Amino acid sequence: MSVRQSLLAILDQGPCYGYQLRAEFDRRTGSTWPLNVGQIYNTLDRLERDGLVEKGDVDEHGHVYWQITDAGSAEVVSWLTSPVERSGGTRDELAIKLAVAATLPGVDVADVIQTQRGASAGRLHALRRTRPRAGNPTSPAELARELVVDSMIFAAEAEVRWLDHAEQRLALHPDHAMSLELSSERPKRGRPPQPTAASQMRT
């Protein structure tokens, strides 16, 4: 999630000081992604460096109000009108953990999956408990929170389904068929060659 663009979008509604930005971010995301003030000000400093925000008035309490520039407003429009690009590769810790565990001799991958399923199912249950009963939200802030929680619930449900799928896939292979011993081949320095589209089609 882009904190940078989110703060810019809030500032596009009007000048805010640091703590006010944090409160507005919490209000618009249902407090599901807590930010500390240090993170807010670090982001503001980078936005100022990039010419997207600038310092404005200071009130009687010493609050420095930040305001968006024309370039910042243009970036907000670009963010809101562009799709979120998902990475082509995976850096998901759970997927990598199971993939590696499946190739390690002596590791009970089924036990790894069961442990993770228990944790994932517990998180899913906790998320469902925080979801209000069906009905129309009574405020924009409540709607925003429900949207974020729904996204987290769907992701947790997908994780549990993927664990079931992984367990079924691994059950088709005897333990010894998946194990990889350390290779005796010594790799050359540098990055390994990346497979081309043509080579992937041949395989």
For the chain, the structural domain boundaries read 3-81, 93-178
Top CATH class of 3-81 equals mainly alpha
Beta partners for residue 68, in sequence order:
53
pLDDT (tens place) for every residue of the chain, 203 residues total: 488 999 999 999 999 999 999 999 988 887 777 888 999 999 999 999 999 999 999 999 999 999 999 999 999 999 998 887 766 665 678 888 888 888 877 788 889 999 999 999 999 999 998 876 666 777 888 888 888 889 999 999 999 999 999 999 888 876 655 666 767 787 777 665 565 555 455 54
- The answer, as to whether pTM is greater than 0.75, is no
86 contact partners, CB below 8 Å, separation of at least 6 = none
Torsion of CA 15, 19, 20, 22, to 10 degrees: 110
